[in-house]
A = this chain, B = another copy of it.
Amino acid sequence: MRRAVSPEEKDARRSDILNAAKRVFARKGYQSTTIADIAKAAKLSYGSIYWYFDSKEVLFHALMENEEQALRDHVTKALTEHGDLAEITPLKAAVKATFEFFEADRAVVKLLFRDSYALGDRFEKHLFHIYEGFINDIEAMVVAGQKDGKVIDAPPRVVAFCVVSLVGQLAHRRLITDDGLSADVVADFVVAFVLNGILPR
């Protein structure tokens, strides 16, 4: 009765800004993007951005968190739909889901694999943290696979990191050149590569 804007509306506006920011950052890069750019994209005055975010950097971190969560949700959904956790397939499913996510939204790829570096040291904390989350998940799968003898005996964390890296790097590369390959083919390839390497059986 007092509030001019409901909390939902406020959240929605925050989301609007984040989405606008994602687009602009993806196009111009973190450094070249001004608060005014974001405001214009969000159809707000630049002063208003500060009503929702304390600073450009805070906004960017919020964006990273947002996208991390979205990716996480996407992967989780893919995994629960798949189910047969006893198999090596969860790994497959996770890799494919991640790849799909990145394919579906190229902006987030630029955000994570290009712009976040522009934050300098501050990015390391955050991006590293995001990586760790995914590495943890994959690591658990690797350890499980090793227990069943279905995965080689190698440092599981490093294995997990390689998997995560490969997906990210391939997604990033595809922004620049796609080597003429569909996302599907590449996703399958990543999985095969990770599982079998390049030597023929």
Contacts and interface: CB of A to CB of B under 8 A. Distances in A.
Interface of A: 28-32, 88, 113-115, 117-118, 120-121, 124, 128, 142, 145, 149-155, 157-159, 161-162, 165-166, 169-170, 173, 176-177, 179, 181, 185-186, 189-190, 192-201
B192 A154 contact: yes
Contact of A193 (B173, B176, B197): B197
A166 B158 CA distance: 11
Contacts of A192: 152, 154, 197
Contacts of A176: 124, 128
Contact of A114 (B117, B151, B181): B117
Contacts of A155: 179, 181, 185, 189
What is the oligomeric copy number? Answer: 4
Contacts of A31: 31, 118, 120
Residue from A117, A128, A154, A181 with most neighbouring chain B CB atoms (10 Å): A117
A28 B119 CA distance: 11
Contacts of A190: 162
A26 to B, nearest CB: 11
A169 B186 CA distance: 19
Contact of A181 (B149, B158, B179, B189): B158
